[in-house]
Chain A
Amino acid sequence: MVDFLIGLFLATLITALFTTRLYRLLFWYALNSLTLGLLALTIGSRLHDRAMLLSGALTILLKAGVIPYILKVLSRKFELVRQIPPSIKTQYAIMLVPAILVFTFYLAEPISHMVQGNANYVAVSISSLFLSLLLMIEHRNVAPKIVGFLSMENALFLLGTTATEGMPMLVELGIFFDLLMAIVVINLLLYREEAQS
Chain B
Amino acid sequence: MMLFWLLLPPLLMFVASFSQNIWARRLLPISSFAVLIPVAILFRLPKPYALWRDYLVADDLNTYILLLASVVGIGVTLALLTLDRHVRIGQKAIYRFYRFFGLFWVGLSVSILANHMGIFWIGLEMATLSTVYMIKTNHTPAAHKEAWNYMIVGAIAISLVLFGIILIYASAKPLLGEKAMLFDALLHSAHRIPSPFLFEMGFALAALGMFVKMGFFPMNLWLAHIERAAFYPVAALFSGILESGVMAGFFRFSQIAGTVNYDHLFLFVFVYTLLTLFIVAFLIFRAKDFMRLFSLSGVEHMALIALFWVSGGTFAALLHFGAHAFLKPALFLSTGVLESGGRYRFAGALRGYHGVRGKLFWFLVGLFMLAIVSLPPSPMFFSELYGFGAMIDNAKASHHLLAMLGAITLLLVLLSVIFYRFVAIYQSMKYEGEETTKIVYASEVAALAIFALGLVALLLPGTMAFLKSIG
Residues of A within 8 A of B (CB): 110-111, 114-116, 129, 133, 136, 142, 145, 149, 152-153, 156, 159-160, 163-165, 167-168, 170-171, 174-175, 177-178, 181-182, 185-186, 188-189, 192-193, 196
A152–B155 CA distance with the chains assembled, in angstroms: 9
Tell me the nearest residue of chain B to A173, going by C-beta: B122
B125: interface (CB < 8 Å): yes
Residue contact B125 to A178, C-beta cutoff 8 Å? yes
CB distance from A154 to the nearest CB of B (A): 11
Q: Which interface residue of A114, A149, A196 has the most chain B CB atoms within 10 A?
A: A114
Residue contact B148 to A189, C-beta cutoff 8 Å? yes
Q: Which of B171-179, B224-232, B309-317, B421-429 contacts A (4 or more CB under 8 A)?
A: B171-179
B181: interface (CB < 8 Å): yes
State which of B118, B133, B155, B163 has its C-beta within 8 Å of the C-beta of A170.
B118
Residue contact B147 to A111, C-beta cutoff 8 Å? no
Interface string of B125-168 (1 = CB under 8 A from A): 11001101100100100001001100110011001001100110
Residues of B within 8 A of A (CB): 55, 116, 118-119, 121-122, 125-126, 129-130, 132-133, 136, 139, 144, 147-148, 151-152, 155-156, 159, 162-163, 166-167, 169-171, 173-174, 178, 181, 194-195, 197-198, 201
Chain A residue numbers with a CB within 8 Å of B136 are 188-189, 192
Chain B residue numbers with a CB within 8 Å of A153 are 159
Residue contact A149 to B155, C-beta cutoff 8 Å? yes
CB distance from A140 to the nearest CB of B (A): 11
Residue contact B170 to A174, C-beta cutoff 8 Å? no
Residue contact B151 to A115, C-beta cutoff 8 Å? no
Instruction: Tally inter-chain residue pairs, CB-CB below 8 A.
Output: 102
Residue contact B155 to A177, C-beta cutoff 8 Å? no
State which of B122, B132, B144, B162 has its C-beta within 8 Å of the C-beta of A185.
B132
Tell me the nearest residue of chain A to B118, going by C-beta: A171
Chain B residue numbers with a CB within 8 Å of A174 are 118-119, 121-122
Tell me the nearest residue of chain B to A126, going by C-beta: B163
Residue contact B170 to A181, C-beta cutoff 8 Å? no
Residue contact B163 to A159, C-beta cutoff 8 Å? yes
* Known A-B contacts A111-B201, A160-B166, A174-B119; A189 and B147 likewise in contact (beta carbons under 8 Å): yes
24 A-B pairs within 8 Å (CB atoms) are namely A114-B198, A116-B174, A133-B156, A145-B148, A149-B152, A153-B159, A164-B166, A165-B173, A167-B169, A168-B181, A170-B116, A170-B118, A171-B121, A174-B118, A175-B125, A177-B122, A181-B129, A181-B130, A185-B132, A188-B133, A189-B148, A193-B144, A196-B139, A196-B144
CB distance from B118 to the nearest CB of A (A): 3
Chain A residue numbers with a CB within 8 Å of B129 are 178, 181-182, 185
CB distance from A152 to the nearest CB of B (A): 5
Residue contact A156 to B163, C-beta cutoff 8 Å? yes
A114–B55 CA distance with the chains assembled, in angstroms: 27
Residue contact B156 to A189, C-beta cutoff 8 Å? no
Tell me the nearest residue of chain B to A113, going by C-beta: B195
The 8 closest A-B pairs by CB, nearest first: A171-B118, A174-B122, A114-B195, A178-B125, A163-B170, A114-B198, A164-B170, A149-B155
Chain B residue numbers with a CB within 8 Å of A115 are 170, 195, 198
Tell me the nearest residue of chain A to B140, going by C-beta: A196
Chain B residue numbers with a CB within 8 Å of A188 are 133, 136
